[in-house]
Amino acid sequence: MIPLRLIGRLDIKGPNVVKGVQLEGLRVVGNPRDLARRYYEQGIDEIIYMDIVASLYGRNNILSIVAEAAEDIFVPMTVGGGMRTVDDIRAALRQGADKVAINTAAIGNPGFVREAAEAFGSQCIVVSIEAKKRGEGQWEALTDNGREVTGKGAVDWAEEAEALGAGEILVTSVDQEGTRKGFDLELLAAIHDRVRVPVIASGGAGTDEHVLAVCQAGCADAIACAGVLHYEMSSVPELKRCVGDAGFEVRP
């Protein structure tokens, strides 16, 4: 059994970590360096930094935050938001990122996924999918932090992204994000069943049991948590203990 990866997700706006509900109503919850260091010291397996306004404003202000984090955080870091070109990806990697997450640019130009994978390797490319339910068993992929519709089915897009060279799929349920009501297990299972690359679950964690439910459903290979950690409703050791006590393998 491959150990579950527990990932801390930091949504960045300007110099701050922010958190909303269904990607709206954002409020400042902390300093990115302080939160990242806390999660690293608690035993987090990876960290995702997501600049949630980069695509909206056509720029990326997150790289200085990543460079600062790389000085004292020694777990894999994924950087997303505003990754539009191979040069953007190269700049993120040079600042200390191990992987990049792409969404808006990938949907606008799917060939960009292939170009990026060929340039840096599939293991470096995470396609981020913001999925909103549109009917029974149907979800639409959104862009620009959930602000823009695409008409593209999220499950089909995940399969296409894998074929183009994505090494991982980050699946954020817009409906569950920030609600603390648990993950969209149906969405995760639909995508997990269609792809062979790792699926990262994001959006909805409010308790240890919500994380455990993903493991029990077998619908993701990694779980990204934000509010449940930011607001100290749980901690990295508590989440890992809950999962481990249920018989699932976690990293020390």
- Whether the pLDDT of residue 1 is over 80: the answer is no
**pLDDT tens sequence across 40-98:** 999 999 999 999 887 655 556 789 999 999 998 999 999 999 899 999 999 999 999 99
What is residue 45's predicted lDDT score, i.e. its pLDDT? 98
Cα–Cα distance, 33 to 65 (Å, whole number): 7
Query: Do the domain assignments include residue 159?
Result: yes
What is residue 56's predicted lDDT score, i.e. its pLDDT? 59
Query: Do the domain assignments include residue 99?
Result: yes
**Residues 6+ away with beta carbon under 8 Å from 126:** 78, 80, 99, 100, 101, 102, 166, 167, 168, 169, 170, 200
When divided into structural domains, the chain yields a total of 1
**pLDDT tens sequence across 18-42:** 998 887 778 899 999 999 999 999 9
Mean pLDDT of 160-188: 97
- The reply to whether 130 belongs to the active site is yes
Query: Do the domain assignments include residue 12?
Result: yes
* Angle, CA 225 vertex, CA 231 and CA 173 arms, to 5°: 115
Query: Do the domain assignments include residue 205?
Result: yes
Query: Do the domain assignments include residue 252?
Result: no
Q: Which residue range(s) make up the domain with 220? A: 5-245
Query: Do the domain assignments include residue 26?
Result: yes
Mean pLDDT of 175-186: 96
What is residue 52's predicted lDDT score, i.e. its pLDDT? 87
Query: Do the domain assignments include residue 90?
Result: yes
What is residue 145's predicted lDDT score, i.e. its pLDDT? 82
Token digits of residue 64: 């200085």
Token digits of residue 147: 């602000």
**pLDDT tens sequence across 111-170:** 999 999 999 999 999 999 999 999 999 999 999 888 899 999 999 999 999 999 999 999
Q: How many helices (H) and strands (E) does the chain have?
A: 11, 12
* Angle, CA 250 vertex, CA 244 and CA 252 arms, to 5°: 105
Taking every pair of Cα atoms in the chain, the longest distance, rounded to a whole number of angstroms, is 46
CATH assignment at residue 238: 3.20.20.70
Query: Do the domain assignments include residue 250?
Result: no
- Of the candidates 11, 51, 177, 184, the residue annotated as catalytic is 11
Pair type for strands 222-225 and 148-153? unpaired
- Of the candidates 45, 51, 88, 130, the residue annotated as catalytic is 130
Mean pLDDT of 210-221: 98
AA identity, residue 116:
A
- The reply to whether 68 belongs to the active site is no
